[in-house]
Chains A and B, each alone.
Chain A
Amino acid sequence: EAQVTQNPRYLITVTGKKLTVTCSQNMNHEYMSWYRQDPGLGLRQIYYSMNVEVTDKGDVPEGYKVSRKEKRNFPLILESPSPNQTSLYFCASTRGSGSSYEQYFGPGTRLTVT
């Protein structure tokens, strides 16, 4: 089954404690992306990756890091989480050029930073 998986699904942590949210897709997609979703602000893109070792900032990259060492994986790293990073996070992937550019989203990770 074609899918995007994220782990963990729920996470409560404390300010400053480094964390990683994993994302994996099994569709051989080139393009992957991370979003955060907050009430009233909608989905905002954090980082995206066009392919292995190619990443770029989205609209809200501050406080986040990403890496793309393998095509299927795109982890999101919060080196020093703060309460304003409490949010619902989604990973997504898409095939890339020549496709309909539709994004396949993961189930989401609800992060709470206290």
Chain B
Amino acid sequence: SQKIEQNSEALNIQEGKTATLTCNYTNYSPAYLQWYRQDPGRGPVFLLLIRENEKEKRKERLKVTFDTTLKQSLFHITASQPADSATYLCAPSRGFSGTYKYIFGTGTRLKVLA
């Protein structure tokens, strides 16, 4: 069955450093991959989408890479700030040409220390 793995250990980094989060998937060939941010007790908020034919996508301090050979996406936050502390979820998908299902990883909790 499809499996999405994110580092379940919390990631603590110092303010100003770059945070790198990993999303690995198996038994799946997503057409694209989304990243969401979730704060405690609140619904996830969409951040970025990257398609299978894109190697890298950027948005302000965020950067996402997508390696379909390694079956992995990396999510980077540069110049991290305490306000970036949250849980980050990845969600690979085939889009609306197939199963129509969304599958989420369990998320990685990021804590940026001032």
Asked if A42 contacts B89 (CB within 8 A), the reply is yes
Asked if A59 contacts B43 (CB within 8 A), the reply is no
Contacts of A88 in B (CB 8 A): 41
Residues of B within 8 A of A (CB): 8, 32, 34, 36, 41-46, 49, 89, 93, 95-96, 100-107
With A and B bound together, what is the CA distance between A90 and B102 in angstroms?
13
Of A35, A41, A105, the most chain B CB neighbours within 10 A belong to A105
| 8 additional A-B residue pairs with CB within 8 Å, beyond A4-B43, A41-B106, A96-B96 | A33-B102, A43-B89, A50-B96, A101-B93, A103-B34, A103-B46, A105-B44, A108-B43
Asked if A101 contacts B32 (CB within 8 A), the reply is yes
Asked if B107 contacts A108 (CB within 8 A), the reply is no
With A and B bound together, what is the CA distance between A88 and B36 in angstroms?
17
- Checking A48, A96, A104 against B101 with a beta-carbon cut-off of 8 angstroms, the contacting residue is A48
> Residue on A with the closest CB to B106?
A42
Of A43, A45, A88, A97, the most chain B CB neighbours within 10 A belong to A43
Residues of A within 8 A of B (CB): 4, 31, 33, 35, 40-45, 48, 50, 56, 58-59, 88, 90, 92, 96-97, 100-108
Asked if B45 contacts A105 (CB within 8 A), the reply is yes
Asked if B101 contacts A58 (CB within 8 A), the reply is yes
Asked if B95 contacts A56 (CB within 8 A), the reply is no
Q: A101-B95, A102-B34, A108-B41 are in contact. Are A50 and B100 (CB under 8 A)?
A: yes
With A and B bound together, what is the CA distance between A105 and B36 in angstroms?
11
With A and B bound together, what is the CA distance between A108 and B38 in angstroms?
12
Q: A101-B93, A104-B46 are in contact. Are A43 and B41 (CB under 8 A)?
A: no
Asked if B104 contacts A42 (CB within 8 A), the reply is yes
Contacts of B103 in A (CB 8 A): 45, 59
> Residue on B with the closest CB to A54?
B100
Q: How far is the CB of B23 from chain A (nearest CB, A)?
A: 12
With A and B bound together, what is the CA distance between A92 and B44 in angstroms?
9
Of B8, B36, B106, the most chain A CB neighbours within 10 A belong to B106
